[in-house]
Amino acid sequence: MRPDGEWTSLAAVSEVEGRAGGRPLGRVLVVDDDEVIRQLIAVNLQLEGFEVATAVDGQDCLDKVAEVAPDVITLDVMMPRLDGWVTAVRLREDVATRGIRVVMITARAQDHDIRRGHDIGVDAYITKPFDPDELIRTVRELVESGRLST
């Protein structure tokens, strides 16, 4: 899916899937209200072979999650309408979404923020500015661990 929420062209998907051995490495829903950050995360993951959809805030994430059926959700904390904390709690409360791996990607790097993420049940916490290699490694590990537990 493109950063605007539409699916990428078949040619672009074929190019990415070719690098992943014919199929995507996993499906990721990228949630961030900052379009530049959203696109940066999406492009880095697409280049590694992940299928990516995007959402502009927590409510948009909850509206799209059933259709997208992601393996992993990357989630910003500070967003309008529905912030990342509330979104993560709602994902964990819903039996249909509680097994989706969640990565918080945020500028909120204080110890109490990281503890709050842990208490909510997020699977990983990455602070902005982030290293794209760390993001890719984290998402890849979460996709693999999700497949092993199902």
Q: For residue range 73-129, list pLDDT tens digits in order.
A: 999 999 999 999 999 999 999 999 999 999 999 998 889 999 999 999 999 999 999
Domain 10-143 bears CATH identifier 3.40.50.2300: yes
**Separation CA 39–CA 26 (nearest Å):** 18
Q: pTM score, two decimals?
A: 0.84
Contacts of 106 (CB under 8 A, 6+ apart): 76, 77, 78, 84, 113, 125, 126, 127, 128
